[in-house]
């Protein structure tokens, strides 16, 4: 039991505060840019500023992600690379098939980009877990 616990702790990478900070900032500014025009303001210039701020923070988040990858060791980086590759391919294949279903009228609702993002997020998490278990 103790051995199991220590193994599971060792497999967990330390929380990257730099990346966490930028990801949280991006999410918060995304929520502000999405819900602000509906609930808080009506002026389109404020919306443009909110979207711009969200975009700039998004770019900084990408660089934070790159820095976070640089701090990992080679096995951790391989696990991340495998998960990212699977997530990317599932996003492309799944997203385009989903779009085709919408275009051809085989689904009764409009295809939303958020559904593809959710699919990619779930694929990335599952791939990461499988990768970590494989090398544990």
Partner 1 sequence: MKNRLKVLRAERDWTQADLAEALSVSRQTVNAIEKGKFDPSLPLAFKLARLFELPIEQIFEDES
Stretch that binds partner 1, among 41-49, 107-115, 117-125, 128-136 (CB under 8 A): 128-136
The three-state secondary structure class of 12 is coil
Rounded Cα gap, residues 50 and 34, in angstroms: 9
Rounded Cα gap, residues 23 and 52, in angstroms: 16
Positions in 13-52 near partner 1 (CB under 8 A): 13
Is residue 5 near partner 1 by the rule CB under 8 A?
A: no
- Residue (13 or 102) nearer to partner 1, CB: 13
Please give the structure tokens belonging to residue 17.
Answer: 């505060």
The terminus-to-terminus CA distance of the chain in angstroms comes to 15
Positions in 60-119 near partner 1 (CB under 8 A): 73-76, 78
Stretch that binds partner 1, among 7-15, 44-52, 96-104, 106-114 (CB under 8 A): 7-15
């Amino acid at each position: 039991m103790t051995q199991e616990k220590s193994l599971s702790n060792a497999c967990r990478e330390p929380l990257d505060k730099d990346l966490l900070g930028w990801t949280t900032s991006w999410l918060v500014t995304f929520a502000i840019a999405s819900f602000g025009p509906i609930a808080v303001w009506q002026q389109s210039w404020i919306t443009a500023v909110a979207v711009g701020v969200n975009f700039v923070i998004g770019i900084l988040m990408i660089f934070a992600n790159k820095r976070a990858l640089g701090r990992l060791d080679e096995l951790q980086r391989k696990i991340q690379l495998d998960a990212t590759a699977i997530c990317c391919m599932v996003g492309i294949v799944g997203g385009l098939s989903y779009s085709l279903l919408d275009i051809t009228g085989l689904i009764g609702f409009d295809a939303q980009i958020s559904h593809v993002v959710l699919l990619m997020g779930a694929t990335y998490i599952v791939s990461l877990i499988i990768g970590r278990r494989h090398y544990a």
